[in-house]
Homo-oligomer: A and B are copies of this chain.
Amino acid sequence: MSLEHAILGFLNYHPYTGYDLKKIFDTSIRHFWSADQSQIYRTLTRLTERGFVEMEKVPQQDRPDRKVYHITEGGRGELLNWLAGPPPMDEPRSAPLVQVFFAGQLSDEQVLAKFEGFAALMRAFLAMYDQVPDQLGPYQEDISSPREHFFWLLTLENGLCSMRANLAWAESIVERIKAGKVPPK
């Protein structure tokens, strides 16, 4: 679980409202982390209870007050502690691989279609990545120093590397299928 840490990470650049955070998640880091709008508000409440963030009401004329959250000393400590700590290992959870594992229960034609589908999916991802801009979307001014931009590019690279590896994997399987190397039912 690290929606909390992702929120703390952004609030450590700049104070934001729940609405701001939703937009930041939807634009900048959408390709490796997503967040439900309700969940962002609930997490902000939880972080407030724990003393990691504080809220300030900014009244506006004729529309609901903005609730601007800023990180506290305790929150900064929690964040830096988590960042400096050991890298969490991604718990494995891959619905596509479940399909691969059980693909033997399909007919040979269906198996071929399945893996061609995988390859197509990964090519589509790669095409998308080419369109991911160098920049971070709105709210850049707060975040995009050369240092932050450098680390942003590193996360993009990771996506590219993984997708290329997966594409090569899927393609090698398609070749093997066509070469008749799948044991029959």
Chain A residues packing against B (C-beta within 8 Å) = 1-2, 5-6, 9, 12, 29-34, 79-80, 82-84, 86-106, 110, 113-114, 117-118, 121, 125, 145-152, 154-155, 157-158, 161-162, 164-166, 168-169, 173, 181-185
**What copy number does this chain have within its complex?**
2
Given A98-B9, A105-B9, A31-B92 contact (CB < 8 Å):
yes
A145 neighbours in B (Cβ, 8 Å): 104, 183
A183 neighbours in B (Cβ, 8 Å): 145-147, 149-150
If over half of A's interface residues share one DSSP class (helix, strand or loop), that class is named, otherwise mixed; here it is helix
In order of increasing CB-CB distance, the 8 nearest A-B pairs are A165-B165, A146-B183, A9-B102, A147-B183, A32-B97, A32-B92, A88-B95, A161-B165
Q: Which residue of B lies closest to A2 (CB)?
A: B95
Which listed residue, B90, B101, B151, B169, touches A101 by the CB 8 Å rule? B151
Which listed residue, B117, B121, B162, touches A165 by the CB 8 Å rule? B162
The smallest beta-carbon distance between A61 and chain B, in angstroms, is: 35
Q: Which residue among A96, A98, A146, A157 has the maximum number of chain B CB atoms within 10 Å of its CB?
A: A98
